[in-house]
Structure 1
C-alpha cells in the first residue's frame, strides 16, 4: 500500500498531483447499468483516449425496474445489459463484467460481491477503482462505495475514486471532460430502458452538474468531480470529511471518549449493585424454600403415620360401611348425626 508518512486521513484529502499519472488499468464499479456513464463517463472516455485499459463491473442485474415496462414483452435484464455494452463501446471500455446480483438488494450480498470483486482485482490488478459516492442516497450505491473502500485492503496498491450520480460530493479532484462531453452524452443516450425512455433528461442533468463544477475554475468547461483516496478508512471518518463535519482535536476527542468510558463504568456499577442485591434475594428465597420443603416433608411424614394408624384405618373402614349400618333417615342415623354434631 502507499506510504502515508504518519499523516492522518484529513491530510490525505488534498488533490492528487495528477490522477492520470502511473495509471494503466482502471476498474469502474457501476451498481446498475448506466451509473458508469452518468457518474464518470467523461473520465472513462478520457482514460481510454490515452490508451488506458478500462473495464466496468456492473454489480446488479438491473431488474428492479421491470414493472415500469410490464406492458411490454421484454426481458429488462437482457435489455439493460445490451444498453450497457453499447455504452461501453462508445466510452472505449475494453471489457464489462455483469455480476448479476439482485437490483435493490446489494447491501444483503456485500460479502459475495466483495469476494467476486476481490477475485477480479486480483487478476486484473487495476491502478484505480471508480465507485459511487458514500453520501449518495441510493442504498445500492452506498453498498458499492463501502465495498470499494474495503478493496483497498488488497495487497495490490491502488486508489479509489468516488464519483457523483444522485448527490454532489466534496471532491479533491476535478477532471476536465470538455473534449469528451459529447462522448458521454452518446453513451448515456444508449440507456433507453434504464432511464425510462427519457435518457435526454438525464443527459441534460449530468451535463448541468458537470458545467456547475466550472464554478470552481471560472472556465467555460465541463468537469467530473472525484474524491480520490489511497488507503482504507473508517466509514465514519470518511463521512465526517465528506459532510464538512469539523474535526475534533485529539485532546477533545480523548476527553469525550473518556467521558463515555466513565459513563459506561457508572452504568456497569449500577447494574453490578443491582445484581448483588438480586443474588442476595435469591439466596434468601432459596433458604426460605428449603425451610418450607423441610416443613412439608415433616407434615407428609406425620400424615403418613396417621393414615397408617389403627384408628385411622378403622375410621376409613367405618365410612365405607356407614350407609349400610346407619341407613339415611333411620333412628340410628339420627342419633349418630346428633353425636357427631356435638363432637364438632
Structure 2
C-alpha cells in the first residue's frame, strides 16, 4: 500500500462543500490569488458567497486614499468576473493586523453570528505575511463562533500548504481565474503574482489527471480545527517571530548608536590632537 496519498491527495474535489460561504481575505487580491477557481465553482453551483477583505491595503492606514479605492475597485471587478457579490471592505490597518486583533475579532464575531456560514475560507497560519497569519490566528482563537456543521478551509497564497484537499480546475475555470487575477494592476509593479500563482496551481496537478490546475486547502471540521489549534498553537510561531524581529531591531539600533558615537569621536578636536600619541603607541607595540 502506497503512503504517497498521506502527503497529498490523489483525487480532486469537484467543488468545496459549502452553501453559505465566507471567505476572509487579508488584502484585496488574496481571495482571488488563493481561491478564485473554487469561488467560481461555488458560485456556479448556487452557493451564497460573502467575501470579506479585512485590511485597507494601503500599508499605512484606513483612510480612503487613491490606492485603497483602486484596490477595492479591482477586487470588485474580479468578483463580477467570478460570479459572486462585491466584497465587504473592513479597512483595518494594513500591515498592522496583529496589533488590531481585538477590532478584528469584533468584526469576525459580528459577521459570523449574522451570516452563519457553513464554510469559512481563510489564509493558513503558515503564511509568510504577518497580516495573513494574524487573520488565521484570530479566527482559530474564536472557533466558538462557528455554526454547527461549519467547515474551515485554510488556503495558500505566499507559502505552500501540505493539503488534504485539492479542487480541480478545468481550462475554462482556470481562464476565468487568470482574467480575475489580471484585474489587480496595482500589484503588478510589486511582483508578477499572476504568473507565480499560476505556477503554484499547475504544480498542484502533480497527483491529478485531467485538470489544467488545482487549488489546495487544509479542510477541517469544527472539531478538527479546535484540535489543530490546541495542539499546533500556530500563534506561538508568530510570537517567536515578533520577539526575534524586536531583538533584531534593538541590535540594529544599538549598532547605529555605536557607529554614530564613533563617528563623533573621530571628528572631534581631541581625536585629531591625539593622533601623534596613537602613532607612537602603535610604533612601540610593534617594536619599532
Same fold (TM over 0.5): yes
Contact residue 28 and residue 130 of structure 1 kept, 8 A: yes
- Closer, same or farther in 2 for the Cα pair 1:198/1:58, shift >3 Å? same
Structure 1 segments of 4 or more deviating over 4 A? 13-22
- CA offset at residue 94 of structure 1? 1.9
What is the match of residue 227 of structure 2? Answer: 233
* Greater RCO, CA 8 A, separation 6+: 2
Task: Kindly tell me the number of residue pairs found equivalent between the two proteins.
Answer: 221
> Structure 1 residue 135: deviation in Å?
0.7
Asked whether 1:47 is paired with 2:42, we answer yes
Q: How does 1:306-317 map to 2 (within 5 A)?
A: none
CA contact (8 A) 2:202 2:214 kept: yes
Provide the TM-score with structure 2 as the length reference: 0.69
Residue of 177, 188, 193 corresponding to 1:196: 188
Which stretch of the first structure deviates more once superposed, 230-239 or 74-83? 230-239
Q: Deviation at 1:96?
A: 1.3
User: Could you say which residue in structure 2 is the equivalent of 1:216?
Assistant: 207
Deviation at 1:153, TM superposition (A): 1.4
Judge conservation of contact 2:123–2:135 (CA < 8 Å) in 1.
yes
1:184 aligns with 2:172: no
Counterpart selection for 2:22 from 18, 27, 32? 27
Question: Aligned partners of 2:112, 2:12: CA distance in 1, in Å?
Answer: 24
Question: Does the CA contact (< 8 Å) of 1:149 and 1:160 recur in 2?
Answer: no
Between the aligned partners of 1:215 and 1:155, the Cα distance in structure 2 is 33
With over 3 angstroms needed to count, the CA separation of the structure-2 counterparts of 1:174 and 1:14, relative to structure 1, is closer
Distance 2:204 2:146 in 1: 34
* CA RMSD across the alignment: 2.9
Per the normalisation by structure 1, the TM-score is 0.59
> Structure 1 unaligned runs (5+)?
1-10, 67-73, 241-344
Distance 1:221 1:95, change over 3 A: same
State the distance in 1 between where 2:17 and 2:168 align.
Answer: 18
Q: Mind listing any 5+ residue stretches in structure 2 that lack a counterpart? A: 1-5, 235-288
| Shift of residue 152, structure 1, vs aligned partner | 2.5
1:214-237 deviation digits (Å, cap 9, x = unpaired): 111244531001001112235473
Comparing 56-65 and 148-157, the one that deviates more: 148-157
Deviation at 1:117, TM superposition (A): 1.4
Residue 96 of structure 1 is matched in structure 2 by 87
